Structure formats: C-alpha cells, structure tokens
Structure 1
Amino acid sequence: MNHSHHMGMNSVDHSSATVPPSHHHPATSASHSHGGGDGNMMMMSMTFYFGFNDVKLLFSGLVINTAGEMAGAFVGVFLLAVFYEGLKIARESLLRKSQVSIRYNSMPVPGPNGTILMETHKTVGQQMLSFPHLLQTVLHIIQVVISYFLMLIFMTYNGYLCIAVAAGAGTGYFLFSWKKAVVVDITEHCH
C-alpha cells in the first residue's frame, strides 16, 4: 500500500515538473479555493475570512493584495453604501416634491345604523412622459446597480469588505433617514 502511494506521488511530481515551480502550486490551491489555475478561476470562498491577498473586487482589474489597498477598498465600499442609503432617501424626497397630479375621488359607503358616509380618496401621481418621472427612472437604475454591487461585494465573504458594507449602510441610514422618520410620523397622525 505504501509503495503504491509513493508511486502516485512520483507520477504527480513528473506531471508537475513541466509546470514550474512544482512546490508552489499545491500550496496555492490549498490556501485559497478561489485562486489557483485557469480551471479554478470561477471558484470563490464560501466562508467568511479576513485577509487582503488576491481579493477580487467586482472587476478583474481590481485585485487587493496589500493592507493599504484593503484600507482604500474599505473606505470606498463604505462610502458607496452611505451613498446608496442617501440615494434611496433622496429619491423619496424628490418623488414627494415632484408629485404634480392630485385627484380627489369621493364615494358613498354604508355607515352605522343605515346612514351613508362619504369616503374621499386622494390620488397623487405624476405623468409618465415627464422629466420628474424620467429622472426617477434613471435614479432607480443607478440605485439597483449600486445595490447589486454591494451584494456582490458582500458575497466575496471578505470580513473587512462585509463590515464596510454594513457600517456604510448603517451610517447612511443614520445620516439620512431621520428626516424620513419625522415625515412618516407626522403624516401618520394626520390620518
């Protein structure tokens, strides 16, 4: 048994002798499941890890290999997440300001003891072929793209980048959503 195992090792050594250096390749594939050769290009880590060697960030040209690059990526991802939260709130605010069409529809509804009550519905909207709606559409596309970028960054499973996404989202919500909460509270009391 030991002899056949040893022969298997020799055959591996002969095949890897054509690819220099033979001692480096097994260490690379063992340490990172997403590194490796051409066959493993699509593999990526499926567990959280903290590191900054060979971390691919969205595009093939954006590869983090040093602590300084990871620090820069952390700041960039953090700011992208803050911007995403601000964009969501800005779109809501812009929508409230650009609502141009207001209609009131009243309809009779049965009330208590056979009485008739008038119920009024307020419909607020904007025209489809208008600059505000076109702007909302473009901002929506930008918001969706950024949200998918943030999701893909989180899916690198790199702990530093995941913290940057979460911290940026939390900071953005803290900075921008407090006005939204006040507006929602006021309108809830008016109904």
Structure 2
Amino acid sequence: MSHSHADHADHSMAPDTTHSHGDHTTPDAGHGQHMMMMQMTFYFGYKNVELLFAGLVINTPAEMVGACIGVLLLAVLYEGLKIGREVLLRRNQVNVRYNSMPVPGADGTVLMETHKTVGQKMMSVPHFIQTLLHIIQVVVSYFLMLVFMTYNGYLCIAVALGAGLGYFLFSWKKAVVVDITEHCH
C-alpha cells in the first residue's frame, strides 16, 4: 500500500493565518472569517472582548466601562424580576383554604395546627403575566451566565455587584415567614 504525497498538503509551506488580537488569537478560516478563541482563565483586559453577540466587541476602556454598567443593570433587573414575580404571585393568589391537621403535643395530647393553602388559576391573566416574566427572567439569567463565562474580570465583577445591588434594593420587601409552631431548629 503506497501513500502519495499529493494527497497531503505541505503545511510547512502554508502561510501563517493566525492574527494576534491582544488577549485572543484568531485563526483565519480561509474565507476572510475570523473565529474568536474562548478565554479559559480569568483576565483583566478590554481589547477584543466579545460580549454576547458577534458584533458586540469591546476595544476601549470607555466601551468596557459602558459594558460593565450595562451588565450591572442587567443583574439588577434579574434580581428585581425575581422579587417582583414573588410579589405578583402573593397579590394574585386565589383559592385560599385552611387545613387543620393533628400534631402530637409535648405531654401526649393532640394539638390541631391550621395551615393556609393558596393556589392560582391556570387560565388567568396573572398566570400569563407570571409566565412571561419567568421567560424574561430565564433569558436574563442565561445572558448573565454567558457574560460571566467570558472570564473577563471586569465583567464578572459587574455581574456580582449588580446581583448584590439588586438584592439590596429589592429583597428588603421580601416577606420572611417564620412558623412559630415549627419544632425542629
């Protein structure tokens, strides 16, 4: 069995088709297209940082500041959506039922505890609004995840600060329910 050298390209004579772009190396695909190499470690840079979409590339400090502000606001929006959906759910609850159930007392007697059960109708405007807000929340959460996966330190800090700021701004309204009849600590 013979192997012809005509079937194999001589790669030693091929021109160098890689271009250096700051933190990334982009090989030329042969058709004028460039492919961004994904950064796999955390770094602090602002040159050729691709953000979510192919045409959205950060190249200057001012663009990085703008991107960080946008990402921070997106993370605040995410936290606001989470708390807002909870508030809307509580506001639109229907079918309130009270269920009593026996609970053994400390001295061997039987006590009755009452629990409130609430529900929501499936075919209702509030449920459709909840569904739409859930879709938006999921999309925003995936965008934030993808931003963090750029491994750009500035953008990662913006995600974290935005989540913290959003939690600070919105979560204080969140009601914490403490069951005083709970016996397990």
TM-score band by shorter chain is: 0.7 to 0.9
Query: Which residue of structure 1 aligns with residue 29 of structure 2?
Result: 38
- Alpha-carbon distance in 1 for matches of 2:89, 2:106: 38
Number of residues of Structure 1 aligned to a counterpart in Structure 2: 168
Residue pair 2:104, 2:110 contacting (<8 A) in 1 also: yes
Larger mean CA deviation between 147-156 and 63-72 belongs to 63-72
Is 2:157 aligned against 1:166? no
SS in 1 for 2:54: strand
* Structure 2 residue aligned with 1:15: 14
Checking the alignment, whether the CA contact within 8 Å between 1:85 and 1:173 is kept in structure 2 is yes
How far, CA to CA, are the matches of 2:47 and 2:106 in structure 1?
Answer: 72
> Do the aligned residues in 2 keep the contact of 1:74 with 1:160 (CA within 8 Å)?
yes
| Cα distance in 1 for residues equivalent to 2:73 and 2:66 | 11
Please identify which structure carries the higher helix content: 1
Q: 2: CA distance between counterparts of 1:42 and 1:127?
A: 48
Q: Indicate yes or no: 2:57 matched with 1:63.
A: yes
Shift of 1:91: 0.7
Where 2:112 maps in the other structure, the secondary structure is strand
Q: Could you tell me whether the CA contact under 8 Å between 1:29 and 1:36 is conserved in 2?
A: no
Gapped runs of 5+ residues in structure 2? 1-10
Select the residue among 141, 162, 184 that pairs with 1:147: 141
Structure-2 separation of matches of 1:29 and 1:57: 15
- CA shift for structure 1 position 107: 3.8
Separation in 1, partners of 2:22, 2:163? 34
Question: 1:50 Cα deviation (Å)?
Answer: 1.0
Question: How many Å separate the matches in 2 of 1:31 and 1:76?
Answer: 22
Offset, 1:109: 5.0
| 8 Å CA contact 2:40, 2:151 repeated in 1 | yes
Q: Which amino acid in 2 is paired with 1:91?
A: R
Q: Of the candidates 159, 178, 185, which is equivalent to residue 188 of structure 1?
A: 178
**Letter of the structure 1 residue corresponding to residue 65 of structure 2:** A
1:21-54 per-residue CA deviation (whole Å, 9 max, x = no partner) reads x5xx556289525x33339836301001111111
CA separation of 1:110 and 1:71: change in aligned 2, threshold 3 A: closer
- Cα distance change on mapping 1:99 and 1:32 into 2, 3 Å: same
The 1:132/1:152 distance shift into structure 2, 3 A limit, reads: same
TM-score, L = length of structure 1: 0.77
Match of 1:28 among 5, 20, 37: 20
Change in CA separation of 1:30 and 1:118 when aligned onto 2, cut-off 3 Å: closer
For structure 1, which runs of at least 5 residues remain unmatched after alignment?
1-10, 17-21
Distance change in 2, residues 1:83/1:116 (3 Å): same
For each residue in 1:44-83, what CA deviation from the matched residue of structure 2 results, as whole angstroms up to 9, or x when unmatched?
0100111111111111111111111111111100110111
Q: Provide TM-score, normalisation by structure 2.
A: 0.79
Q: Give, as a single letter, the amino acid of the residue that structure 2 aligns with 1:147.
A: S
